[in-house]
Amino acid sequence: MGKEFFGTDGIRGVPGTPPLDDATLYATGRSLGAYLRREHGAAHVLIGLDTRESGPHMASLLAAGLRQAGARVAFAGVITTPGVACLVRQNDFQAGVVISASHNPFPDNGVKLFSHAGMKFPDAVEEQLEAGILKLRGEPAPKNLPPLTPDESLHAEYLAFLRKRFIPGAKLSGFRIVLDCANGAASKLGPELFRSLGAEVIAMGDLPDGRNINAGCGSMHLDGLEKRVVAEKARLGVGFDGDADRALFVCESGKIVNGDGVLLAAARFLKSQNKLKGDRVVATSMSNLGLERALASENISLARAAVGDRYVLEEMLQSGTVLGGEQSGHIIFLEDSPAGDGLLTAAKIASLVSLNGKMESLVEGLKDYPQLIVNVQVRSKPPLETLPEVSRALAEAQSALGDKGRVVLRYSGTEQLARVMVEAEHEADVQRFSQSLAKALHSSIGA
């Protein structure tokens, strides 16, 4: 059975309109609370949010729904998505709720749900929750709800967890680091973490006003961070997204290192410590062929999962792999946490730079093959294999590229888009086949 509300990263939309209207949010809280009481006999739920101005109202509605279903609610206030996942796992919470649209622009928001294990609920549970929401959403939500009061001790607990994950032997005393916090959830926590580790922190995008989250800053807009790292002669730059579940990096030279580079650096270190189980890393279909070949040169295999950190985690758990992630900067260090955590990733990479001297040396030998991602606005999302024109264009591209390139076609899990990714040794092939596939998609299902 398909899901109406839940995408690859929870429920997304525009606050005030379905599925983020007041009645649906209230019903979501009630449905979650009822599910937890059925499964656990109790429901203690932690709520956190990013810095969007719509967040507090949404939190109050969800909390009201949970309480109506007999749940107890704790509120962490502004905190990262993986911070909630961490606290749920470490404490007596049956679930966690994060109100965030991650890297999306300010007008969007969303609801992400985590189980007691600190992982997103499986598809089957989300379907149960949807059934409850559909049954309850016809009832009006209460008005004039009081704001929730944050428990600041939860921040201290999360920061203590992160400090313990710093690589032994690394020292950040005198280490100059630039953090672009995207005017989001890491705005306070990121600088506080690295200052407590002894680093000299230069913070950007750390003045959220409710509307400037991800606006020309953070991991989606690295130009300012590149310039600042070079100007400040910093050892490292880190760009977070709005809810800080991802992190991208800038070397002291200004070179950008994405999630592929982080996976290579982390895999090399873990293998050197005999901690890379199975000499295997999990990435997604979007990771560059260059990563696969760089890992292979060191006898490390790369398994590819579907796009989405939940699918990376599923593959890691099934195969016993301890390191996985996405090109976009979601990295999972499974022995530390099952959640992609930008602050945890930043602590690990800063540790490695401290121990090795330069970020560039950590990713030496990684050659990115030319790659292009084209987004096509679509009016519907039928199975791609049912579209004859798209199938013909795909077969032509795959036949021409052979093992010297890759093509990935998929729908966005959060937007009305089809994504075309073409990767090849030659830029001309990338341009040719990405255009032919985008044209086929547009003529078949374009909006």
Active site residues: 102
Q: Which amino acid is at 68?
A: Q
Q: Measured over all CA atoms, what is the biggest interatomic distance in the chain, rounded to whole angstroms? A: 62
Chain centroid to Cα 271, Å, comes to: 25
Helices (H), 164-258: 186-196, 223-232
Structure tokens at 165: 């994950």
CA 391 vs CA 102, 217, 292, 382, 437: distances in Å: 33, 38, 26, 13, 9
Please list, residue by residue across 200-237, b when 16 or more beta carbons sit within 10 angstroms of its beta carbon and e when fewer do.
Answer: bbbbbbbebeeebbbbebbbbebebbbebbbeeebbbb
What letter does residue 237 receive in the DSSP assignment? E
Please list, residue by residue across 43-62, b when 16 or more beta carbons sit within 10 angstroms of its beta carbon and e when fewer do.
Answer: bbbbbbbbbbebbbbbbbbb
The CA dihedral of 348, 350, 356, 358, to the nearest 10 degrees, is 130
CB 300 within 8 A of CB 282: no
Compute φ and ψ for 237, nearest 5 degrees.
-125, 145
